[in-house]
């Protein structure tokens, strides 16, 4: 196995952090790796916030669904899906007037732009994660940024058309840290040849069997009869997922409304 494959295989989510600050030259490598990522039309629809202030880290941890461990990291990178800069630049350079004169119409960023921004942002974030790993620096994606999206956006001074997509606390792996690898679904349930293979009931049972054995512990309090019910109660059906859904719906409708409006102008 080559060095990169080994690195990918060894990576785990790190949730226990070392206080030691990350060396500036290491952070440069991490940020440059993010910036080297591919992006749609090379537009780089993202921004990265580097956060070291103790109070702000604590507030972020709270707003991201009270995940206190986040605040213990010496640094947090926040990856923002960002259409603000391109949109502002377009306004600055007379694109709306030009587009209307050309008969092609001008529109504010719409849902397709949002999708591209999400894609660009995640690719950049993962380059940062892997570059960090290569330097002995671990991290953990925190996706619950939309649980309190409005408050988080206020805390970070985010302008319109900027969405806090991913929070990434980072630190050097603590000494003697024992990596525990979480098992994955078997390849045959995830990778299909040529066309999609819809799994039948038996295959679905097989696919989830090892997770069910590992994570499902019947309890009277939970009243779940199987792993799917138990998982649904803890995650998919949990109120924080409803909060995230509502935030995302609001973001989508804001973007879409503005887009429709500028289409009509």
Binding footprint of ligand FMN on the chain (CB under 6 A): 12-13, 15, 67, 140-144, 182
- CB nearer ligand FMN, residue 15 or residue 56: 15
* Cβ atoms 155, 80 nearer than 8 A: no
User: Tokens 């995830």 correspond to what residue?
Assistant: 190
- CB nearer ligand FMN, residue 99 or residue 155: 155
- CB nearer ligand FMN, residue 61 or residue 108: 61
- CB nearer ligand FMN, residue 144 or residue 148: 144
Distance in Å, CB of 212 to ligand FMN, minimum: 16
- CB nearer ligand FMN, residue 87 or residue 167: 167
Distance in Å, CB of 30 to ligand FMN, minimum: 17
3-state secondary structure 31-88: HHHHHCCCCHHHCCCEEEEEECCHHHHHHHHHHCCCCHHHHHCCEEEEEEEECHHHHH
Distance in Å, CB of 14 to ligand FMN, minimum: 8
Token pair, residue 84, equals 């603000």
Distance in Å, CB of 259 to ligand FMN, minimum: 26
Residue 137 φ then ψ, to 5°? -110, 125
Half-sphere exposure of 102 (CA within 13 A, CB side): 9
- CB nearer ligand FMN, residue 142 or residue 162: 142
Reduced to 3 states (helix: H, G, I; strand: E, B; else coil), residue 162 is strand
Distance in Å, CB of 69 to ligand FMN, minimum: 7
Residue of minimal Cβ distance to ligand FMN: 143
What is the rounded radius of gyration, in angstroms, for the C-alpha atoms of the chain? 21
Distance in Å, CB of 99 to ligand FMN, minimum: 35
- CB nearer ligand FMN, residue 42 or residue 182: 182
Residue 225 φ then ψ, to 5°? -85, -15
Residue 176 φ then ψ, to 5°? 60, 20
Beta-carbon contacts of residue 82 (< 8 Å; ≥ 6 apart): 45, 46, 47, 117, 121, 161, 162, 163
Roughly how many angstroms between the first and final C-alpha of the chain, as a whole number?
Answer: 57
Distance in Å, CB of 147 to ligand FMN, minimum: 9
* Cβ atoms 157, 245 nearer than 8 A: no
């Amino acid at each position: 196995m080559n060095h990169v494959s080994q690195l990918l295989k060894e990576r785990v989510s790190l949730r226990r952090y070392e206080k030691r600050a990350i060396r500036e030259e290491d952070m440069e490598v991490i940020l440059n790796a993010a910036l080297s990522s591919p992006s749609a039309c090379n537009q780089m629809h993202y921004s990265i916030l580097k956060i070291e202030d103790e109070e702000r880290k604590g507030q972020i941890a709270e707003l991201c669904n009270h995940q206190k461990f986040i605040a213990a990291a010496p640094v947090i990178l926040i990856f923002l899906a960002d259409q603000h800069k391109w949109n502002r630049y377009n306004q600055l350079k007379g694109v709306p007037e030009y587009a209307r004169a050309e008969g092609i119409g001008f529109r504010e960023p719409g849902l397709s732009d949002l999708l591209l921004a999400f894609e660009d942002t995640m690719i950049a974030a993962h380059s940062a994660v892997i570059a960090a790993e290569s330097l002995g620096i671990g991290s953990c994606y925190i996706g619950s940024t939309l649980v309190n999206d409005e408050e988080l956006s206020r805390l970070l001074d985010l302008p319109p058309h900027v969405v806090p997509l991913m929070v990434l606390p980072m630190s050097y792996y603590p000494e003697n840290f024992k990596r525990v690898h979480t098992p994955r679904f078997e390849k045959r349930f995830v990778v299909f040849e040529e066309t999609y293979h819809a799994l039948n009931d038996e295959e679905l049972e097989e696919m989830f069997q090892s997770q069910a054995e590992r994570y499902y512990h019947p309890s009277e309090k939970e009243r779940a009869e199987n792993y799917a019910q138990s998982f649904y109660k803890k995650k998919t059906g949990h109120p924080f997922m409803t909060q995230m859904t509502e935030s995302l719906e609001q973001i989508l409708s804001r973007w879409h409304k503005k887009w429709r409006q500028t289409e009509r102008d």
